[in-house]
Each structure stands twice: as C-alpha cells, then as structure tokens.
Amino acid sequence: MTWLTLVSLFCSVLAALTLVPVVRFIARKIGMVDAPDEDRKLHRKPIALCGGVAVLGALLIGFVSTIFYDRVYGNFDLGYIDMKWYGLVFAAVAMLVVGLIDDAFIMRGRQKLLLQILIISALVGSGTVVDRIGLMGFELQLGSLAFPVTVLWLLVAVNALNLIDGADGVATTAGCFISLGLAVLSWEYGTAMGCIFSFCLAGSLIGFLFYNKPPATIFLGDAGSMVIGLLVGVLSVWGSVKGSTLLASAPVAILAVPLFDSAAAIARRWLTGRSIYATDRAHLHHLLEKKYGHFGMLFIVAILCTVTTVLAIASAHFQMPWLALLGMVLAGTFLVVTRSFGHAECQLLMMKASHMTRSFFVSPRKSSLEKNHRCLPLQGNGDWRLIWEPLVDFAQIHNLSKISIDLNLSWLHEGYHASWSDVRMPDRDNQVQLRWPLVIKVGRKQNPMNVGTLNVVAQADSLGIHERLADLSLRLADLEPQIQHVIAELERRHVAPGEPTVPEDVVVAPSVGTPAPHYSSLERTSESKALVS
C-alpha cells in the first residue's frame, strides 16, 4: 500500500507539472483570463484561468496510473472500481463545466447555486448519502433528512473552497492539506481506494501550486475551486468510517479553515443586512494578506490547516473525538484573538445578542425611552462618525424607531456598521421600512458608485412620517460632500509611493464646510469601479 501512495503522488504531481503550462497557454490564447478590478481582486494584471482543468486532469491521470500499476505490478490491493467512483468523476466534470461557464460569462449567484444543487442531487441520488451524524462519540440518525442534509453538506464544501479562493495559492494550499488529511484518514479506516484518490488530489494540487504560488501565473477559477470542494466533501463522507456513511467530527475538522471563512461571510452579510451574494474584501485571505503579506498569509493558512488536520487524524486514531473539536477551537481562537479574522463578526453577533436580550428585560415604560446604539468598524480606520452622528441626531429629533448604516468600500478595505434603535420596535404591521442604497456620482464621467446602505424604520401611525422621510433625503444630500471627503482621505492613504495622489479621471471633493458640486442622493443605481476622492 505504501508503494501505491508513492506512485499516486508521483504520477499526479508529474501530470500537473506537465499539464498546467499547456492549459495556461491555451487559456491565454482563447482569452480565459481573470482581469483585475479595483473592487475586490488583489492582482494587478490579467491571469490565466482554467487551472481546474489541469488539476482534474492530473488527478485522473494519477488515479488511472496507480490502478494500472496495482493491477500489473502490485497485488490488486485496490480491487475493482465501484460504480460510485464513476459517478463522482461524472459529477466533478459537470461541476467543472459549470465553473468554466461562470469564469467565461459570469453567471448570477442563484443560477450557479441551482446548477450546483442539480449536480449534487444527482450524486446524492446515486448513493452518496449521510444517514447519520457523529459528534463527540454520539450518533444522530437522520432518517428522512438524510438527502437534504447531504446536499447541504456538499454545497457547503463546494462553496467554502470557492469563497477562500481569492488570493494566490490560498485555496491550493488549503486543498493540499485537506486532501492529505483525508488520505491519511481513509488509510486509518482502511478505505484503500479513497486513500489513493485523496493522495492523487493532493499531488495534483502540489504540482499546481508551483504555478499558483505568489506571484501566480494561473488561477484555479471557479471551475477548479468548486471541483476541489465537491471532491473533498464527498471524500469526507466516504472516508469517515469504513463501510458506513457517517459524517464524523474528524473529516469536518479537516475542513475547518474554509468552513470558518464561509461561516463568517454568511454571518457578516446576514447581520449587516447585505445580500448573501455581496462581494467584499473581508474574507480570510483578504485580511491575512493585508496583515501578514502574501507569504505570511500562506504560512498562517498552512499552520492552521496542519493543526486542524493533525488533531483530526489523532482523534480518529486514538478514538478521542474531542481532539478534532480542540483543533477547530484552537484555529478559530487564534484568528479571533489576534484579530486576524473573525473578530468583527464576533462583535456583530454579540451586538445582536445584546439587543435581543435587552428587549426581554426592559419594561414597556422604559423601552420607549432607552435606545440601543452600537458602532462597529468592520475594516479600516475611516472617520465615519462624520456621517453617522448627524444621522443619529436626525433620528432622535424626528422620533424614528431605528436607523442603521452599512458601508462597504471593498476597494479600500473599508467597512463600517452602526445601528441606533428603540429597545422594543413597533409591531411589524405598524412599521414603515426604508432601504436606501447610498450611491454617489463621482469623477468627470459622473460614474455612480454604491458605497453602502441606509435602513430606516418608523411607526406607520406617527404623524408627519412622510414629511420626515422626505427631510431625510435632503439630509443625505447634505452629507454627500462629507462622504466624499472621508473616502478621499482614505484613497490618499492607499496611494503607493511615486504614484499620483489623485487619478486623472477623478474630481477632488472639497473639505467639509466648503461648497461642493451637488449630486442628488436619489440617483442610486449600480456600482462603478471609479475611485471617490
């Protein structure tokens, strides 16, 4: 068996080293490249996509070569190939096609999600089902929930790897450690075919990493990251316990790092009222890259994956499930305590819990007088109080029930969330709710840019409510020069030495208190990548 693992690693690494330059050349020729933008992408020049084609191709070459070696020179340790492996390969190829279409034409989030569900449902329908969940030695039978839980788990795995793939080498590094961990775990449980397949996946990623490490010359693209996510998700089910479909704590712990990133992204967007498909620069790789640099980011990801993987394997070997949980806790605690990642999301959760708890214990008489007021810089250090404090004053004077603002300036690594509200809100049937996208025209071309959202809640039966909301639109128009001024200061700090301070296509906003061009705050449409100054 040891020879088979060495053969699988060698063949898949060699295949990846050979295939990647060919795929990269073809991708550049046909225009399958990832162009840079100033919204959320970190690279500065077009980079070839289609890395997933090379990874999947190298994986299959390594897998077939290992099976051939086993049958010709080995002892037939791998046996015959079960039909489920053909189903997995078919699903991986289908997911690859969806990813390539998305890389080429940029599909809507819901369209991509629907196709993912269809592919995963077909795979689950062919027999890959989680029928019980094991955690800390306890088992929970799922019964009729087995199908939807399995689909949900594989969707989480697919999109967790997809979300973390936003900087050179991050998804590849995480995928390498996850695959190696699943290979050792499969070896531990005696599932030989799963062990070899996992080693082949790890080898193909190791070979790809030679071209994907900073500065990368080729990206996995959605095609690659989704395929890797699907494969590790399925292998975590198949390799949990020999002969069963138990989703245990050990394989889940191995995927802890990408799962942290996905959980934090969902929490951040839900708690701030953003769309689940919203883009930002608050993912794990963005924050680690900003704090530690490219190679520091990869080093941190590698260390965290090593900790979670080693403890997960130890938990399976020694039959001590709490070790897997310990690895997840250690990795998460390190990120939050060092404020590398997850600290803002924890604060948002605490703020939400505090508001909810307080509403249960404040008397009706006091609830009309006391307010919940929280301000939370999610990223950066912009002085957004210049915008927020006048809005709070307006809410107090005009007796609004709630006002909140969420600012997301991803190209500047800036995020800010603040909320002011009554302790007990009016009944939903008696609420006027207003969601106001904050889009400002900037630059000589008058490009509209979305910088955030303002949410307002007021009592519907309050006298003069319509006039007060009309006054709010005028107040926002008066605040636009301040918003421009804050963004201009942030932009100046982000200009690299030797570069012009103000881009040629951007008009400088005067300082606060100085007459400025008036742009109507009611003209709120789409985003633009022009920089505000």
Measured from the Cβ of residue 90, the count of other Cβ atoms closer than 10 Å reads 14
pTM here?
0.80
pLDDT-derived band of residue 413, with 50, 70 and 90 as boundaries? confident
pLDDT band at residue 442 using 50, 70 and 90 as cut-offs: low
Q: Which two tokens stand for residue 68?
A: 């051939």
CA–CA separation, 206 and 11 (whole Å): 12
Q: Is 374 helix (H, G, I), strand (E, B) or coil?
A: strand
User: In this structure, are 223 and 80 located in the same domain?
Assistant: yes
Give the residue among 367, 375, 372 at the shortest CA–CA distance from 353: 372
Range of the domain at 438: 371-494
Residues 6+ apart with CB under 8 A from 419: 351, 355, 372, 373, 374, 402, 403, 404
Confidence of residue 163 (pLDDT cuts 50, 70, 90): confident
Predicted pLDDT at 200: 95
Q: What is the average pLDDT across 427-454?
A: 79
Give the mean pLDDT of the chain: 82
Chosen domain end from 224, 244, 264: 244
Q: Which residue has the higher pLDDT, 16 or 315?
A: 16
Contact at 8 Å (CB) between 91 and 120? yes
Q: Which of 230, 204, 213 is nearest to 128 (CA)?
A: 230
Q: In which band, very low, low, confident or very high, does the pLDDT at 494 lie, cut at 50, 70 and 90? A: low
Task: Let me know how many helices (H) and strands (E) the chain has, helices first.
Answer: 16, 10
**Predicted local distance difference test score (pLDDT) of residue 307:** 93
| pLDDT band per the 50, 70, 90 thresholds, residue 532 | very low
* 367 vs 208, residue with greater confidence: 208
* Statement: residue 244 has pLDDT above 50: no
- In terms of C-beta density within 10 A (0-12 exposed, 13-18 middle, 19 or more buried), how is residue 195 classed? buried
Summarize the confidence of residues 176-197 as an average pLDDT: 88
Is residue 56 in some structural domain?
Answer: yes
Q: Report yes or no: 93 and 56 within 8 Å, Cβ to Cβ.
A: yes
pLDDT of res. 409: 86
Residues 180 and 39 in one domain: yes
Distance CA 392, CA 290 (A): 32
Residue 140 lies in a domain: yes
In a domain, 350, yes or no: no
449-483 confidence digits (pLDDT tens):
888 999 999 888 877 888 888 888 888 888 888 88
d(CA 225, CA 222): 5
Bin 99: left if φ > 0, else alpha if -120 < ψ < 50, else beta: alpha
Q: Give the whole-angstrom CA distance, residue 180 versus residue 186.
A: 10
pLDDT of residue 366: 66
Would you say residue 87 lies in a domain? yes
CB atoms within 10 A of CB 505: 12
Pairing outcome for strands 132-135 and 371-379: unpaired
Identify the domain boundary among 244, 260, 295.
244
94-108, 160-174, 411-425, 490-504: segment of lowest average pLDDT: 490-504
Is residue 326, in this structure, part of any structural domain at all?
A: no
Q: How would DSSP label each residue in 94-123?
A: HHHHHHHHHHHH---HHHHHHHHHHHHHHH
In this structure, the answer to whether residues 33 and 177 fall within a common structural domain is yes
| Dihedral sign for Cα atoms in the order 126, 127, 132, 134 | negative
Out of 244, 274, 297, pick the residue that ends a domain: 244
pLDDT at 201: 95
405 domain-assigned: yes
- CA 16 – CA 12 distance, rounded (Å): 6
Task: Compute the distance between CA of residue 219 and CA of residue 43 in angstroms, rounded to an integer.
Answer: 11
In a 3-state reduction of DSSP, which class is residue 152?
helix
Cα–Cα distance, 298 to 171 (Å, whole number): 10
Q: How do residues 71-83 score in pLDDT, each as one tens digit? A: 888 777 787 888 8
What CA–CA distance (Å, rounded) separates 319 from 471? 65
List the alpha helices (DSSP H) in 400-516: 465-494
**Least confident stretch, 271-285, 350-364, 399-413, 489-503:** 489-503
For 318-345, give one letter per residue: b (16+ CB within 10 A) or e.
eeebebbbbbbeebbebbbeeebbbbbb
Task: Name the residue with higher pLDDT: 190 or 212.
Answer: 212
Which residues, 6+ apart, have CB-to-CB distance to 143 below 8 Å?
A: none
**Does 509 score more than 70 pLDDT?**
no
Q: Is residue 273 part of a domain?
A: no
More confident residue, 278 or 218: 218
pLDDT value of position 337: 93
Sign of CA dihedral 480, 486, 489, 490: negative
Please tell me what DSSP assigns to residue 242: T
Please tell me the distance from the alpha carbon of residue 306 to that of residue 513, in angstroms, as a whole number: 54
Name which residue leads in pLDDT, 323 or 513.
Answer: 323
In one-letter notation, the amino acid at residue 296 is G
Environment class of residue 14 by beta-carbon count within 10 Å: exposed (0-12), middle (13-18) or buried (19+)?
middle
Contacts of 268 (CB under 8 A, 6+ apart): 274, 280, 282, 344, 345, 348, 378
pLDDT tens-digit map of 319-372: 888 888 899 999 999 999 999 999 889 988 988 888 778 777 776 666 666 788
pLDDT at 185 over 80: yes
SS3 sequence, 206-239?
HHHHHHHCCCCCECCHHHHHHHHHHHHHHHHHHC
pLDDT at position 249 over 60: yes
Looking at per-residue confidence, does 275 or 395 come out higher?
395
Instruction: Note whether residue 286 is domain-resident.
Output: no
pLDDT of 137: 61
Q: Which residues pair with 439 in a beta bridge?
A: 450
Count of domains in the chain? 2
Contact 484, 440 (CB under 8 A): yes
Residue 421 backbone phi and psi in degrees, to 5 = -160, 165
